[in-house]
Amino acid sequence: MADKSSSNAYWKANIRIIQISLVIWFVCSFGMGIILRPMLKGINVGGADLGFWMAQNGSIYVFLVLIFGYAIVMNRLDRAHGVEE
- Structural domain boundaries enclosing 29: 18-81
Rounded Cα gap, residues 52 and 64, in angstroms: 18
Q: Establish if 4 belongs to a structural domain.
A: no
Look at residue 9 and tell me if it is in a domain: no
Is 7 inside any structural domain?
no
- For the chain, the C-alpha Rg in angstroms (whole number) is 18
pLDDT attached to residue 2: 52
Give pTM, 2 decimals.
Answer: 0.79
**Residue 32, pLDDT score:** 84
Q: Which of 62, 60, 38 is nearest to 51 (CA)?
A: 38
Tens-binned pLDDT, residue by residue, of the chain (85 aa): 357 787 899 999 999 999 999 999 999 888 888 888 888 888 888 888 888 888 888 889 999 999 999 999 999 999 998 887 7
Predicted pLDDT at 1:
39
Q: How far apart are CA 4 and CA 59, in angstroms?
A: 38
What interhelical angle do 2-26 and 59-81 show, nearest 10? Answer: 170
Total domain count, the chain: 1
Q: Is residue 54 part of a domain?
A: yes
Contact between 66 and 24 (Cβ < 8 Å): yes
